[in-house]
Structure 1
Amino acid sequence: MAKGTSSHWVTGVSEISAEEIYIRGYAMSDLVGLVPFPGIAYLLIRGDLPTPGQARMMDVILSSILDYGLQKSGTVAARAVVSVNPVMTAGLGAGVLAAGEHALSPEDTGRFISETFAHWKASGKTMDQAADELVGELRAAKRRVPGFGHQVFRYVDPRSAKLKKLAQEQHVWGEANEWYEAVHRAFQKASDKPELVLNDVGMLASIMVQMGFTPSEMCGLAITSTLPGLIAHISEELQSGVRNRMVPDSHTEYETARRELGPALRKAGW
């Protein structure tokens, strides 16, 4: 049966032969020790060897979300799970599943940037004109712009400023970043909120769009970035000796009222 039919898996990611392991066609024995982990990660996901600047920016991306705080839902989920199933893989699975639209993942922001950037490129309009029109449409529809705003920072998010500086230094800054910043300026102007920042998740997403990553790949990279912190929390929980973590009554509010079963059964037709 020919390759490419429904009966075959087809992959260009890696190959294991009798004499060597190949990553995107390159011998692993050649890569290891010569190309750093972020560079090999880029190669695996994007399919091509990165430039030194792209590899450096991958290192920045993978270092930007490292802290996985105890207050985060994914950390709580991981620690609760290993308190009853004390193995690392169970905790990692729980923590990874907690990444999504409302926590950790830049996927939603990346999708917004990718789609609106492509629409602007096809429109023939100037960047600022298209950004003003887009913001007008979003505000009329009462839609939020992902990646804007922070509960503490005003005017400038220092994390975003650092990411932009590094991206420019490594020559991975481009039109996608400029477009997203134009949308940010247009939103500040239209909402009369000059203090509204472009936050670190937004900046990371715009850089990853510029580097060619898909929104779903961005989610995977964000999760990869958090794994060391998640491993540390799981290890700490495993060593604590605490079994079966439960939500304490001091953190629980009960809304149920006591009811009699007999009358309820008769009313339901039993």
Structure 2
Amino acid sequence: MSEWKTAITDDKDGGGRIRGYKIEELIGGRSFAETAWLLLRGELPEKNQAALFDAMLVAVADHGIAVPSATAARIVASGGNSVNAAVSAGVLAAGDFHGGAIEGCMRMLAAAAQAPGDAKTVATEVVEQTEAAGIRILGYGHKIFEIDPRTTRLFALARELGINGKHMAIAEEVARALSARKGRPLPLNVDGAIAALLLETGFPPETGKAVFLIGRIAGICAHVVEERSREKPFRRLGEDEYRYDGPPPRDLPSK
């Protein structure tokens, strides 16, 4: 087998080192959020970056039982499967429309930030071009919120911490332009907000889904533990929760 290489963790040096730092020194010396940043980025974050990254992870920790990751995890747990199997199902349920919007929005904002013009001009062009191409802009709109309170808090915290750049400005202007064009509120949701903030703190787009999963897996685990500890096994839909819409009863024709 060919040689495997990693620049993340050296397990051959006593207790091990993450990106060169002794694990026993990181224990109690840095938070989980800072260590996750270190694992992904290779360097420790500045204090303001660490505080904002921790807030991002909190923002995506859970969003109730009705979202795909929680529902999938609980259904698999209800079938009598192990914790790791149920949690894996929840992770697999996170896709382009559930958590994965962060990466897509990051790519859009990163490209937009390279365009000439102020944030409002660039945002208007983004909305016009994507609509003409029939492309959905990820990171905007919400089934419940007209203004996503998580976005409001994250952006306020970022500015308190001195983080307030072009990606944030474009993200906000896209929400305004998109809402005006559609004639209804299409807010910057938590995925879009995190996309902008990850770019402001130097993360590449390919880390978007990973950051979502680092935060959300805590919530998925909680749903699995709760399902296994207090719910009856074998969940199934009630008869009032589904309907058949196929062919009516019919006789099988003779051969």
User: Shorter-chain TM-score category?
Assistant: 0.7 to 0.9
Residue correspondence of structure 1 range 40-79 to structure 2 within 5 A: 40-79=35-74
Does residue 157 in structure 1 map to residue 152 in structure 2? no
CA displacement 1:13-37 (0-9 Å, x = unmatched): 1110252311011111121111111
**How many percent identity over aligned positions?**
30
Number of the residue aligned with 1:3: none
Contact 2:80 2:233 in 1 (8 A): no
Contact 1:68 1:230 in 2 (8 A): no
Contact 2:119 2:166 in 1 (8 A): no
Structure 2 counterpart SS, 1:177: helix
Number of the residue aligned with 1:112: 108
Contact 1:86 1:238 in 2 (8 A): no
CA displacement 1:110-155 (0-9 Å, x = unmatched): 222223334x1xxx4444433333322223334332223334444x
Structure 1 counterpart SS, 2:157: helix
Contact 2:122 2:170 in 1 (8 A): no
C-alpha distance in structure 1 between counterparts of 2:13 and 2:179, whole Å? 59
Does residue 143 in structure 1 map to residue 125 in structure 2? no
Contact 2:112 2:123 in 1 (8 A): no
Number of the residue aligned with 2:12: 17
Q: Name the CA shift for 1:245/1:49 in 2 (closer, same or farther; >3 Å).
A: same
- Radius of gyration: which is bigger? 1
Q: Name the CA shift for 1:248/1:165 in 2 (closer, same or farther; >3 Å).
A: same
Structure 1 counterpart SS, 2:138: coil
Number of the residue aligned with 1:236: 226
Number of the residue aligned with 1:98: 93
C-alpha distance in structure 1 between counterparts of 2:109 and 2:143, whole Å? 22
Q: CA RMSD in A?
A: 2.4
Deviates more, 1:12-21 or 1:213-222: 213-222
Structure 2 counterpart SS, 1:261: coil
Number of the residue aligned with 2:201: 211
C-alpha distance in structure 2 between counterparts of 1:12 and 1:173, whole Å? 31
Residue correspondence of structure 1 range 217-232 to structure 2 within 5 A: 217-232=207-222
C-alpha distance in structure 2 between counterparts of 1:132 and 1:77, whole Å? 38
C-alpha distance in structure 1 between counterparts of 2:233 and 2:226, whole Å? 13
- How far does residue 89 in structure 1 lie from its aligned partner after superposition? 0.2
What runs of 5+ residues in structure 1 fail to find an aligned partner? 1-5
Number of the residue aligned with 1:260: 251
Q: Name the CA shift for 1:233/1:131 in 2 (closer, same or farther; >3 Å).
A: closer
Runs of 4 or more, structure 1, over 6 Å off, are none
Number of the residue aligned with 1:170: 161
- How far does residue 91 in structure 1 lie from its aligned partner after superposition? 0.8
C-alpha distance in structure 2 between counterparts of 1:126 and 1:46, whole Å? 30
Structure 1 counterpart SS, 2:30: coil
C-alpha distance in structure 1 between counterparts of 2:74 and 2:176, whole Å? 41
C-alpha distance in structure 2 between counterparts of 1:54 and 1:148, whole Å? 24
C-alpha distance in structure 2 between counterparts of 1:211 and 1:17, whole Å? 32
Alignment TM-score, normalising by the size of structure 1: 0.83
